[in-house]
């Protein structure tokens, strides 16, 4: 291949340098946000505990300690149960660890689905504009106008009733929450694409004869990724709360599978004699969600200091 001197070939390394510098700036700003660092660390710890729950948990999450349990929850420390047991004599700490698995898995997969749908719809609406934009945005409006929690409750109730199964699978919950919570992402991505499509590099990509899909996903999307990452991080926190609320109300993950939400469902009736059953699962949710919210806040400040 003949080597030709094109102006662009000289400019390219510089552009790369800029990119690296830009990334260093992000890390530098992120490092300053101490609480975001703590948040990242806590989230990492929770994820590791959830991943290795099988090896870390002191007992099987569904094992009933028949030897010591006599119908009432065992207090923390009794018979080797560090955090006590629930009303069925199952080790609370083990259930919390396995519950973390469920909560985090649902949250990550749901956010992945939500970002995918939202990004595709927002990107098409913003890039094409006109009638495509109009139709996609009206659909978005519909899903933004129906309050999420009641709609989720109705849908999970319908799916549970028509599947003839006692429990809703994890996948069903992911699809239902993810399939309904994308409109915010779609609006965000659309707004970025509306301004990106007017930029010179987009013009250039078009002039070179790139197909639309390539322009959207290879040229424009990388430039719109920062707010999507921030939104996605914060969404993980929201989804953990939404899933635990559904499970608490009896419409999400069904027992005996442990989830932080459904562990609280029966806690209320025993609260006078066994407050620990009500306290610990909620603390897990609070700490994890707080960590993610601080992490998202730090990411937002670091990636785009002007965004608020």
Partner 1 sequence: MVGAPYARTFPIAPGGIALFSYIVRRSLQAIPLLLLISVILYWILSNAPGGPLAPYLQNPHITAADIARLKHNFGLDQPLPIRYVRWLGMVLQGDLGYSNSNSESVTTAIVERIPATVLLSGTSLFLSLVIGISIGIFAAIKPYSTVDYIVTTLAFFGQSMPVFWFALMLQLAFAVGGITAFGYHFALPSAGISASDEFDLGDRIAHLILPTVVLSFLNIAVWSRFTRSSMLEVVKTDYMRTAAAKGLDRSKIILRHGLKNALIPVVTIIALSLPDLFSGAVVTETIFAWPGMGRLFFSALGQFDFSLLMGYLVIVSFLVVFFNLVADVAYAYLDPRVKYD
Find tokens 């700003």 and name the residue. 29
Nearer to partner 1, 220 or 291 (CB): 291
CA 235-187-306 angle, to 5 degrees, is: 75
Are 226 and 25 in contact by the 8 Å Cβ rule? The answer is no
Return d(Cα 31, Cα 203) in angstroms, integer.
37
From the CB of 291, what's the least distance to partner 1, in Å?
A: 9
Nearer to partner 1, 127 or 251 (CB): 251
| 63 DSSP 8-state letter | -
- The CA-atom distances, in angstroms, between 143 and each of 140, 186, 217, 220, 265 are 5, 11, 25, 26, 29
| Phi, psi at 277, each rounded to 5° | -65, -30
Nearer to partner 1, 174 or 277 (CB): 277
Nearer to partner 1, 219 or 300 (CB): 300
From the CB of 190, what's the least distance to partner 1, in Å?
A: 11
* Of 46, 118, 39, residue with least CA distance to 296: 39
From the CB of 65, what's the least distance to partner 1, in Å?
A: 24
From the CB of 101, what's the least distance to partner 1, in Å?
A: 18
Nearer to partner 1, 219 or 259 (CB): 259
* Of 246, 109, 117, 245, residue with least CA distance to 181: 117
Residues that bind partner 1 (CB under 8 A): 138, 141-142, 144-147, 149-151, 153-155, 157-158, 161-162, 237, 241, 244-245, 248-249, 251, 261, 264, 267-268, 271-272, 275, 278-279, 281-282, 285-286, 289-290, 293-294, 297, 308
From the CB of 201, what's the least distance to partner 1, in Å?
A: 22
Nearer to partner 1, 196 or 289 (CB): 289
For residue 291, count other CB atoms closer than 10 A to its CB: 22
Return d(Cα 100, Cα 102) in angstroms, integer.
5
Tokens of 112: 């992945």
From the CB of 173, what's the least distance to partner 1, in Å?
A: 16
């Amino acid at each position: 291949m003949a080597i030709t001197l094109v102006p662009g070939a000289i400019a390219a390394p510089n552009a790369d340098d800029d990119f690296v510098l830009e990334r260093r700036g992000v890390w530098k700003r992120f490092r300053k946000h101490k609480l975001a660092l703590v948040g990242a660390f806590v989230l990492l710890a929770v994820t590791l505990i959830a991943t290795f729950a099988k090896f870390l948990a002191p007992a099987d999450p569904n094992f009933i300690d028949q030897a010591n349990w006599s119908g009432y929850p065992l207090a923390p420390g009794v018979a080797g149960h560090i955090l006590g047991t629930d009303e069925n004599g199952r080790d609370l700490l083990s259930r919390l660890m396995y519950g973390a698995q469920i909560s985090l898995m649902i949250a990550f997969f749901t956010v992945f689905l939500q970002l995918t749908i939202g990004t595709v719809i927002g990107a098409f609406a913003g890039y094409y504009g006109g009638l495509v934009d109009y139709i996609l945005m009206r659909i978005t409006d519909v899903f933004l106008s129906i309050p999420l929690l009641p709609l989720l409750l109705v849908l999970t109730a319908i799916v549970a009733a028509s599947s003839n199964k006692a429990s809703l699978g994890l996948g069903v919950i992911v699809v239902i929450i993810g399939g309904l919570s994308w409109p915010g992402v779609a609006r965000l991505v659309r707004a970025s694409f509306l301004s990106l499509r007017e930029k010179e590099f987009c013009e250039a990509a078009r002039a070179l004869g790139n197909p639309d899909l390539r322009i959207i996903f290879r040229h424009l999307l990388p430039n719109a990724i920062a707010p999507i990452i921030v939104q996605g991080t914060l969404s993980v926190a929201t989804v953990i709360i939404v899933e635990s609320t559904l499970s608490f109300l009896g419409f999400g993950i069904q027992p005996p599978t442990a989830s932080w939400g459904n562990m609280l469902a029966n806690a209320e009736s025993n609260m006078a004699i066994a407050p620990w059953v009500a306290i610990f699962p909620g603390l897990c949710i609070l700490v994890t969600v707080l960590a993610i919210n601080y992490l998202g806040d730090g990411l937002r400040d670091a990636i785009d200091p002007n965004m608020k």
